[in-house]
Amino acid sequence: MEWFFFTLLAFLGFGLQDFLYKVATSKGCEPSLTTISFLLTVSLLSFFLGLILGLEITQGLIAVALANGILFSITTITRLEALKKIPASIVFTIIRMSLIIVVLWALLFAGETITIKSGLGILFSFIAIYLLKGEKK
List phi, psi (to 5°) of 65: -65, -40
The packing angle between helices 116-132 and 88-96, to 10°, is 150
Q: Clarify whether residues 32 and 75 are in a common domain.
A: yes
- Whether the predicted pLDDT of 136 surpasses 70: no
DSSP 8-state assignment for residue 97: T
> Is residue 126 very low, low, confident or very high in pLDDT (cuts 50, 70, 90)?
confident
pLDDT at site 134: 64
Q: Clarify whether residues 19 and 77 are in a common domain.
A: yes
Which among 45, 66, 86 is the end of a domain?
A: 86
Number of compact structural domains in the chain: 2
Q: Clarify whether residues 57 and 104 are in a common domain.
A: no
Q: Clarify whether residues 81 and 106 are in a common domain.
A: no
Cα 88 from Cα 137, distance rounded (Å): 10
> Is residue 25 very low, low, confident or very high in pLDDT (cuts 50, 70, 90)?
confident
Question: Mean pLDDT score of the chain, rounded to an integer?
Answer: 85
Quote the domain boundaries for residue 128: 97-137
pLDDT at site 135: 56
Q: Clarify whether residues 60 and 105 are in a common domain.
A: no
Cα 75 from Cα 10, distance rounded (Å): 19
pLDDT at site 35: 84
